[in-house]
Chain A
Amino acid sequence: MISLAGRDILHSWSKFVLTGIGLGLLIGVTLTMAGVYRGMVDDAKALLNNSGADIWVVQQGTQGPYAESSNLRDDVYRALLTQPGVSRAANVTYLTMQVRVGNTDVRAMVVGFEPGQPGEPGYLVAGRQITRSHYEAVADMKTGFQLGDTLRIRRHDYRVVGLTRRMVSSGGDPMVFIPLKDAQEAQFLKDNDAILNERARTIANPVLNRPGVPGLLDAILASQNANHNVNAVLVQIASNIDPEHVASEIRRWKHLQAFTRAQLEDILVSKLIATSAKQIGMFLVILSIVSAAIVAFIIYTMTLGKIREIAVLKLIGTRNRTIAGMILQQAMGLGVIGFMVGKTAATVWAPFFPKFVLLEQGDTVRGFIVVMFICALASTLAIRVALRVDPATAIGG
């Protein structure tokens, strides 16, 4: 038995293939949109993975270093190390800023970390980790920096000694890792004009600038420029202990807020990126509906274009099942071509997006099922029309 669908496709294969490719590009856009959403969630998860922590300890009453600002004293980690179950604890600071390189600047999240402690980039794609306690940086490839580049943060120049990949903030900004002490200074140090103004303000205050106490003013001025704050303490715990137990002990006895990984992931996904994720999700839903409608109409109009041929088939006594099978097979074939073109196109153009686009395997499978289902559904419309065709139309009746 010859394949009716195959013969029909061969008859007008260029039309069929072009329709398939067009449909594929539409499916590709839909898959990419899903990838954008997944990428946002993955950015948030990458942020948590890369810090390598089990528990995040932040200022009491705040929701973590990423969703809200949090300030802690940098000696808090010593108290946390004494807690049972805690194996490592390290200070970390986060500051999103424009990092200057030459005449341009790059938006980046500057992370201050202690080398060899949690918060250090877990793997590098080039170069080495930081060895000096000042003025070296490890940058993400997305910043566009090369090894040996000099970048400027506030008033100091940093040399890029290592490169990372997929080290991003929850907003997708690439990270730049610098030593903690430099980051503390960068975060809280004001510009020179502000420092001079502040000094003048202090000198003008008669309570602080007293003639009878010669050393007082110097001491106050010196204390104004010192900073011992960090944004969070990253805690790693011994392997056989429940993180929630350690976190609750920290909350109870150290009077600090502590989040386990699951809690922080929840904060990031359900609070920090919630609005933009919903925005994308809404768009994705509309795009899916539009795609489904277009697929249905394409198959419908394809069938309508073949009304005459179908009438001839009917006239020569072809069974309805065979005609329905032909239309269904064509629709499915269109779906398969469309899906494959779409998936390939989405994979090819995904790396060119400024933010990370994650094409999940699960999404691909779901996408395939949905495409096939829509094609089948759309073909039923066409089949209904085809079956109602009067064989007389074949001879112009």
Chain B
Amino acid sequence: MKPGRLFTRKLGLGLFAAILVGGFGWVVARSGPLSPIQVTTLRVEAGSLSPAIFGIGTVEARRSYLIGPTAAGRVKAVHVDVGEMVKGGQLLAEIDPVDLDERLRSAEAAYARAASAVSAAEAQCKDARARRQLAELNAQRYRDLGGKHFVSASAVEGKQQELDAAQALVEVSEASLQGARQEQLRLKADQDGIREQRGNLRLLASRDGLVISRDAEPGSTVIAGQAILRLVEPDSLWVKARLDQGRSRGLAVGQAAEIVLRSNVSTPLPGKVARIEPVSDSVTEERIALIAFEHIPKGLSLGEMTEVTVKTGAAQSGLIVPNAAIKQMPRGSGVWTLKEGKLSLTPVKLGNTSLDGSVQILDGLAAGDEVLVHSDRELSEGARIQVVNQLVGKPK
């Protein structure tokens, strides 16, 4: 064997050994527990964030009306259909009056009869007055004659008694006239009452509105209070939004909101908080706020799902960190900080959060501190780390 060939072989083998050992060393260093945890870091800086909360809601009408009878009955006619606009006072539906018309006629007849009774009583009254006048004249004449002793005292007293009787008769007839008039009034009121009842069976629109449902058809029997039609005022539509209790801090009436309709995701609509319900939903742990539109869009449908973002305050300045850096622990919140290459978990006090993931730090960090944001493994005290620009995706 030539020494040259031997040398080449030795070189080749050495090269192979070097590659193998190098590869093996790389493998040991880069994988397993010896490899460093890759992290991204950030210097804490003062900044500002706009606190906001997000919730979902449905479009509802602030004022809606259930149109139905006040007593049980059968529907005779329904004059409008779903989707129609109606004017205040417009006849919407009628309930079958059954015998009300007949009762009204009977009341009218009774009223007419009462009018006749009044006339009769008036005539009687007149007759009684005439009799009294005559009795008065007679009594006067006999008193004069009695004073001159032409007639006996008993005759005078007889005529005086006739006058008294005539007077009583006048009073009786006047009383009966009054009674007849009162009877006439009573029957008039009865008649009006029946007419009112008859009118009550005609269901009228209480306000200008839109018919949103027609729940009973002619011929069906409804009970008192059951709705035949439902009306809403189209200019009173708003959004009933449900917001997470845990984030609802700072919510107040009048705050600006952004409403995104499911039917039109690309165009957020401006609105504002019109009312916050004093009672929260204790089962779903949500607060309920009503958001009014600045301008109610055309073709808005009731019950449509919406997403609502309420700006709960003006921009606030302070130390800001991304929420990916926050570590939640049983004792409270903390962040991993890097000081002179050493990791430590620093407890912090959190303030407001914004929807883009920024968190205000109230206490625990100072401006310029280096905090860990992302990591490719769970961090622990004393872990080896390697700071990189980003962990996934193409380098920027």
Contacts and interface: CB of A to CB of B under 8 A. Distances in A.
B is bound to A: yes
Given A9-B13, A341-B20, A344-B27, A128 B330 contact: no
Given A10-B13, A125-B391, A343-B27, A131 B377 contact: no
Interface in A109-123: 116-118, 120, 122-123
Task: Name the interface size band of chain B.
Answer: 35 or more
Interface in A158-205: 161-163, 165-166, 181
Contacts of A125: 374-376, 391-392
B320 to A, nearest CB: 12
Contacts of B9: 10, 13
Contacts of B244: 133
A10 B330 contact: no
A91 to B, nearest CB: 11
Nearest to B5: A10
Given A131-B54, A131-B356, A165-B376, A124 B324 contact: yes
Interface string B308-344: 0000000000000011101110110000000000000
Interface string A352-363: 000000011100
Nearest to B10: A10
Contact of B24 (A128, A134, A343): A343
Q: Could you say which of A124, A162, A337 has the most chain B C-beta atoms within 10 Å of its C-beta?
A: A124
Contacts of A141: 392
Contacts of B331: 239
A353 to B, nearest CB: 14
B158 interface: no
A128 B21 CA distance: 41
B98 to A, nearest CB: 20
Contacts of B21: 340
Given A122-B378, A239-B330, A341-B20, A135 B33 contact: no
B24 A117 contact: no
Contact of B323 (A10, A126, A131, A181): A131
A361 B391 contact: no
A123 B374 contact: yes
B152 to A, nearest CB: 87
B204 interface: no
Nearest to B372: A123
Contacts of B83: none
A120 to B, nearest CB: 6
A303 interface: no
Contacts of A161: 357
Contacts of A133: 54-55, 243-244, 247
Given A126-B393, A133-B55, A87 B375 contact: no
A125 B7 CA distance: 51
Q: Could you say which of A120, A123, A214 has the most chain B C-beta atoms within 10 Å of its C-beta?
A: A123
A49 interface: yes
Nearest to B55: A133
A347 B31 contact: yes
Contacts of B227: 214
Interface string B116-138: 00000000000000000000000
Contacts of B307: 134-135
A221 interface: no
A342 to B, nearest CB: 10
Interface in B241-274: 243-244, 246-247
A255 interface: no
A17 interface: yes
B330 A134 contact: no
Contacts of A135: 307
Contacts of A123: 327, 374-375, 377-379
A51 interface: no
A126 B38 CA distance: 12
Nearest to B226: A214
Contacts of A134: 54-56, 307
Interface of A: 9-11, 13, 17, 49, 75, 87-88, 116-118, 120, 122-129, 131-135, 141, 146-147, 161-163, 165-166, 181, 212, 214, 228, 236-239, 337, 340-341, 343-344, 347-348, 359-361
16 contacts: A10-B9, A17-B13, A17-B16, A75-B283, A116-B246, A124-B374, A125-B375, A125-B392, A126-B393, A128-B356, A129-B324, A131-B54, A162-B324, A214-B223, A228-B283, A344-B24
A-B complex: 10 closest residue pairs judged by Cβ atoms? A128-B357, A132-B54, A133-B244, A125-B391, A347-B27, A87-B330, A340-B24, A124-B324, A344-B23, A129-B323
Interface of B: 1, 6, 9-10, 12-13, 16, 20-21, 23-24, 26-27, 30-33, 54-56, 223, 226-227, 243-244, 246-247, 283-284, 307, 322-324, 326-328, 330-331, 353-357, 373-379, 390-393
